[in-house]
Chain A
Amino acid sequence: MVVRIQDLPRRRYGMPGNAACPGCPEAMGLRYIKMALGDNVVLVIPAGCSSVIQGIWPKSGINFPILNIVFASAASAAAGMKAAFEMMGRDDVHVVVWAGDGGTADIGFQSMSGAAERNDDIIYIVADNEAYMNTGIQRSGLTPYGAWTTTTPLGKKEHKKNLPFIMIAHDVPYVATASVGYPHDFIEKLRKAAKIRGFRYIHLHAPDPVGWRFDPSLTPKVAQLAVKTGMWPLFEYDRGVFRLSPFSKPYKDPSKRTPIIEYLKLQGRFRHIIDKPEEIKKLEEYVDRLWYWIDALEKAFNPSEKARELLSRHA
């Protein structure tokens, strides 16, 4: 299933007048959702930048039906909507949560974990810009080590929480990582997810020019560098099978990876550590650990036909 740019719908899903910042990765990601899934979609959005991007009532800058909801319970509201559609004989409606890293990894984690455990039939997308951007760049559980935020003025002391792995451990049918730097990969994964029933989780890496301190024209480039340095591996877990995605395959070999410094030096949030080799080393070690996990998952979830049958119980 190869996605070609020229085959994608040309309708505008992000309307002029929406309140996204220049170079906003969320405005990009939102467009791709409808490009991938068509119009049979409703969005559930908890507090975050996307609450603002919609613009001011009585208009909306995003061409979706949207239920805005409190920060902590987006997955629950989506589960309720899906239950309602099922009761009304409208099983085909895609209920999609579009949440930030705070609304997913931190304040919203409990409700998301609950929906995943129940295998509620929703698509959950986290647009991960690695901090609480809407409130003004505060650290989140998904902020990487060393990054400046307004609540970690000297750099964060902890590494990023590996949420996709946690979601695989929920034994849901589909977990994938994606990046706004690779829209066709994201769209392909959305389309694949749309064909599966149950809880589907897509973690979209979304570099943010305002919070990461880079030029708004560089959003796709920074996103791609995250993949090329190995900081953000693209993969999917599909009913028992773990696969590295084509764009990340080369970086299994550490020698093929772009040096991390190339990624860091574009971003003001790492300015205070780019001259400190011991700090860079911590991030390099993080990447090595991450790939150790990936290697292990690839080996573990490359099952025989028989095991695959067992693992794909959600299909």
Chain B
Amino acid sequence: MTVMTLTGNYAVAYAVKLARVQVISAYPITPQTTIVEKLSEMVDTGELKAKMVRVESEHAALATVFGAASAGARAFTATASHGLLYMHEVVWWAAASRIPLVMAVVARAIGPPWNIHVDHQDIFDQRDTGWIISVAQENQEVLDLTLQAFRISEDPRVYLPMMVGLDGFILSHTMAPVDVPDQEEVDDWLPPRRQPYYIAPETGVVMGNIVPDDDYYMLRYSMQKAMEQAKKVIEEVDREYGKRFGRSYGGLVECTLCDDADYYIVITGSWAGEAKEAARKLREEGYRVGVARIRFIRPWPGEMVRELAARAKGLVVFDRAISFGSKGPLFLDVAATAYGLTSMRGVIGGLGGSDVTADDIAGVVRDFVGEVEEKGSVYEPLYWLFPAKYRGKFEAKEVVA
């Protein structure tokens, strides 16, 4: 193990190298670019023995690594925002082909207007595609998740591709000390890829041709079953990784200050750091607040969220994305899991990288607790945490069903 000072993007690149990825293909997009640059350098200098296919678009990038993985190679790509949207068709294709792959998604707002800063709209746009979708809080976790992604994706109980989400700039371009495991240790923990089906002259395997409708239905059913299995695999891999490398994150959900909490902040991504700080402040004021950081938005950790909801006085869900005409996508999942069990508020904040501080989060939670204590039960699915300069000029609580 070596401690290196790495940006989130370089943490991705080092994990890809340690995983002995064989084929890489990517198209540059801010803020993912330095992943491609670092990997190109590693391949060109021979530090990483892999093929780097420098394609002309993201659609091609994912198709390239999908082709490589279909032939049985370990493959990786990375993108962000518009790049992810552009490859969306292939995102579906890769998952439903049940081909293990890993992709880093450096979360960034979607235009127009152009904005290169973080929100989670791009990641949530992929929510229903059949990919395992994880979101990291900090750079160490970026490296750990990227390594674990190969184990999870290639597990025979899963065989689904996996995204590792990391917040644009806040993680991707910010340096932090990262424990980088030794190659031998990783080799021992992550064996070479084995896949029972792959395309080669001798296998005669055909992938993706037409199926009867009823069989199509059953293939979709099998993807859902694989997602359920993936929950177990994710927990297992997290535990094993902890034993081997000394870091465990609690599996699908990382719960902080949860033991005696009455209220929970439900959140995903790097701003969980601010949420934790807010919870600590609130505890000093006497509020018993915990933070449930959703590490995996797919498979959805329904059991754990329901468990929390059953013992909570209330949940405050923070979304950095919105499903226009409805609510925040994280809130929708929480509400579908926990509706009726407890009070809820769905907060929309930090769109397009607009700043959200620990004090902002604490303020929303304080206000929510006050309302719950006063009214007994609160259901507020759409609460706007406006950027500071617009706060007070618009109504934060929107009345919707």
Chain A interface (Cβ within 8 Å of chain B)? 39-42, 44, 51-52, 54-57, 60, 64-70, 72-81, 83-88, 90, 93, 110-111, 113-114, 117-118, 120
Contacts and interface: CB of A to CB of B under 8 A. Distances in A.
15 contacts: A54-B209, A64-B206, A65-B199, A65-B200, A65-B205, A67-B199, A69-B66, A72-B59, A76-B55, A80-B53, A80-B65, A83-B22, A111-B55, A111-B56, A117-B56
B57 to A, nearest CB: 6
B23 interface: yes
Nearest to A77: B67
A42 B199 CA distance: 7
B51 A90 contact: no
Contact of A57 (B66, B68, B200, B212): B212
Nearest to A86: B51
A55 B209 contact: yes
B201 A111 contact: no
Nearest to A42: B199
Contacts of B50: 87
Nearest to B93: A70
Nearest to B203: A65
B209 A66 contact: yes
Given A67-B70, A84-B22, A110 B63 contact: no
Contacts of B89: 70, 72
B54 interface: yes
Contacts of A67: 67, 70, 199, 207-208
Interface in B7-55: 22-23, 25, 50-51, 53-55
Contacts of A75: 60
A77 B116 CA distance: 29
Nearest to B51: A83
Contacts of A114: 55-57, 60
B67 A110 contact: no
Nearest to B201: A40
Contacts of B25: 76, 80
B284 interface: no
Contacts of B212: 56-57
Given A67-B70, A90-B200, A80 B63 contact: yes
B60 A57 contact: no
A161 to B, nearest CB: 19
Interface residues of B, number: 43
B68 A42 contact: no
Contacts of B55: 76, 79, 111, 114, 118
A75 to B, nearest CB: 8
A134 to B, nearest CB: 12
B137 interface: no
Given A83-B68, A111-B63, 4 more contacts: A67-B199, A72-B89, A79-B67, A84-B23
A97 to B, nearest CB: 10
Most chain B CB atoms below 10 A, which of A83, A90, A114, A117: A83
B215 A57 contact: yes
A41 B93 CA distance: 23
B91 to A, nearest CB: 10
A221 to B, nearest CB: 31
The 6 closest A-B pairs by CB, nearest first: A80-B67, A68-B208, A73-B63, A114-B56, A77-B67, A84-B73
A70 B90 contact: yes
A57 B211 contact: yes
B100 interface: no
B64 A60 contact: no
A83 B53 contact: yes
Contacts of B68: 80-81, 83-84, 87
B204 interface: yes
A307 B164 CA distance: 51
B67 A81 contact: yes
B133 interface: no
A69 B61 contact: no
Given A70-B89, A110-B56, A76 B72 contact: no
A161 B72 CA distance: 37
B210 A111 contact: no
A68 B23 contact: no
Contacts of A41: 201
B71 A84 contact: yes
A56 B210 contact: yes
B104 interface: no
A76 B73 contact: no
B338 interface: no
B69 interface: yes
A176 to B, nearest CB: 23
B59 A111 contact: yes
B54 to A, nearest CB: 7
A68 B209 CA distance: 6
B351 interface: no
A21 to B, nearest CB: 15
A94 B193 CA distance: 23
A288 to B, nearest CB: 35
Contacts of B211: 56-57
B75 interface: yes
A234 B68 CA distance: 34
A40 B51 CA distance: 22
A19 to B, nearest CB: 8
A93 B201 contact: yes
Contacts of B206: 54, 60, 64-66, 68
A14 to B, nearest CB: 14
A51 B203 CA distance: 19
